[in-house]
């Protein structure tokens, strides 16, 4: 549905337009409606959840009154300023064309992704037009085809990847119930038996052995940023194998220290601290390339990015001025950063301004990787799994805790010698815990 075909708002209706809720936001996807035509809302009542580049954002109503129409379907991506819904019989809290105040702790935009160079166009979610849908319009208002369902039911359907418009509604006034969704899930699962695996799908005539997922939200923005980074910055990756035995023994002693009681300490904590120390003598790894000004920008601070795997995809929030933190402060900051990211609550400030990143593939049992740079940064360090392995110590073979670190860097900013020196310094610090004191 184009904006030109939107139903005209009644004279006493207020139009709520999609606001700009984050740095550089040009569009957002409507994920879940929390109201339906005929519902009464007060100012600041939650009306809709949208998805920006990396997070879900809850939008409150700037008006009080009765919802007369929903103008955008769930799953539809629309530009900032697009009318989302109309609310009648209420007085506006702000001008209809002004953005409402939004809790800055909620929205987020992935570091370096920024707006697209081209204006966005609406993209409708694919669906089966023949599937039964629940009625969505009130008698005196027009709206798009939105299934009636309570928020918990919408969440159940969303988590299961089900379009509510394809579910047969049995609730009052055509509302989709919890049981309706469960029955639909059972139907879909029963249709995927071996005997029917080769049969065409009833919804789109495709074999059920294939599933097509729309490219949007987190995956869309991640893909765009990684392609831009890979084909803009000339990547070089180097590796070093490190004996982490002494560092792991230090970690055990730190965990038992009363001074750090209640602080979550992990190998990532120590490696992050070691990286911050090593950067002091290797500042080019903490820089950026200003193409427009034709300058290299050396950062005198370290905003340490920690790549975090979340249910919505990979995000890279960063710890501001991490180089000024004690070990305990750094550990607490990493823990809080990870929790916030997994809950989808990283703010734009959390995700912006990173100077160097650590990604930990070791938590997945992977030995190492060749990571792609976070856009705008000079380097990214990859931490691999720490394993017990035979190792030569003073001409004798011993069982030691071994890991492999991988460092990718932008060869415009960092020469091979500088990248190699950083990896060497990291290994020296981690293999001799006294270096944390001597250099820290």
Q: Which two tokens stand for residue 334?
A: 């990493």
Q: Active-site residue among 34, 178, 411, 424?
A: 411
Query: What residues pair up with 387 in beta bridges, in sequence order?
Result: 402
**Is 411 a known active-site residue?**
yes
Query: What residues pair up with 392 in beta bridges, in sequence order?
Result: 397
Q: 390 — phi, psi (to 5°)?
A: -65, 135
Annotate 65-113 with DSSP letters as a single string: EEEEEE-S-TT-EEETT-EEEEEESS-BSS-TTSPPP--TTS----TTT
Annotate 129-164 with DSSP letters as a single string: TTS-------TT--------B-HHHHHHHHHTT--G
* Of 334, 360, 345, nearest in space to 273 by CA: 334
Q: Which two tokens stand for residue 14?
A: 């207020």
Quote the CA–CA distance of 436 and 250 in Å, as a whole number: 10
CB under 8 Å to 6, separation ≥6 — which residues? 71, 83
Quote the CA–CA distance of 205 and 163 in Å, as a whole number: 17
* Residues labelled catalytic: 411
């Amino acid at each position: 549905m184009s904006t030109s075909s939107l139903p005209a708002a009644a004279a006493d209706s207020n139009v709520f337009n999609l606001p700009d809720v984050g740095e550089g936001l040009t569009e957002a996807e409507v994920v879940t409606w929390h109201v339906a035509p005929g519902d009464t809302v007060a100012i600041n009542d939650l009306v809709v959840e949208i998805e920006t580049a990396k997070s879900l954002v809850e939008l409150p109503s700037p008006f009080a009154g009765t919802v007369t129409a929903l103008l955008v379907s769930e799953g539809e991506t629309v530009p900032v300023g697009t009318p989302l819904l109309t609310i009648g019989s209420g007085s506006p809290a702000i001008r209809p064309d002004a953005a409402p105040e939004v809790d800055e702790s909620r929205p987020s935009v992935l570091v370096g992704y920024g707006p697209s160079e081209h204006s966005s166009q609406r993209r409708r979610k694919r669906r089966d037009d023949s599937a039964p849908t629940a009625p969505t319009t009130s008698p005196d208002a027009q709206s798009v085809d939105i299934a009636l369902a309570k928020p918990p039911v919408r969440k159940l359907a969303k988590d299961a990847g089900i379009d509510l418009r394809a579910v047969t509604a049995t609730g009052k006034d055509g509302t989709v119930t919890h049981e309706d969704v469960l029955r639909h899930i059972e139907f879909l699962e029963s249709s995927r038996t071996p005997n029917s695996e080769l049969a065409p799908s009833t919804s789109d005539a495709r074999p059920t052995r294939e599933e097509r997922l729309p490219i949007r939200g987190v995956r869309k923005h991640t893909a765009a940023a990684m392609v831009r980074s890979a084909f803009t910055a000339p990547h070089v990756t180097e590796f070093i194998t490190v004996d982490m035995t002494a560092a792991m023994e230090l970690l055990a002693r730190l965990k038992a220290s009363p001074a750090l009681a209640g602080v979550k300490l992990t190998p990532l904590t120590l490696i992050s601290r070691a990286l911050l120390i090593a950067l002091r003598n290797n500042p080019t790894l903490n820089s950026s390339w200003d193409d427009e000004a034709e300058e290299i920008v050396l950062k005198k601070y370290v905003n340490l990015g920690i790549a975090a795997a979340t249910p919505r995809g990979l995000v890279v929030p960063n710890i501001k001025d991490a180089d000024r933190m004690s070990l305990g402060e750094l550990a607490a900051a990493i823990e809080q950063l990870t929790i916030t990211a997994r809950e989808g609550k990283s703010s734009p400030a959390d995700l912006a301004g990173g100077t160097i990143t650590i990604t930990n593939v070791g938590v997945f049992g992977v030995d190492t990787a060749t990571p792609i740079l976070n856009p705008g940064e000079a380097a990214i360090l990859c931490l691999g799994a720490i394993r017990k392995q035979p190792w030569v110590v003073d001409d004798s073979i011993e069982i030691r805790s071994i890991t492999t670190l991988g460092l990718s860097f932008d060869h415009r900013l960092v020469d091979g010698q500088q990248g190699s020196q950083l990896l060497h310094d990291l290994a020296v610090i981690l293999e001799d815990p006294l270096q944390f004191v001597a250099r820290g």
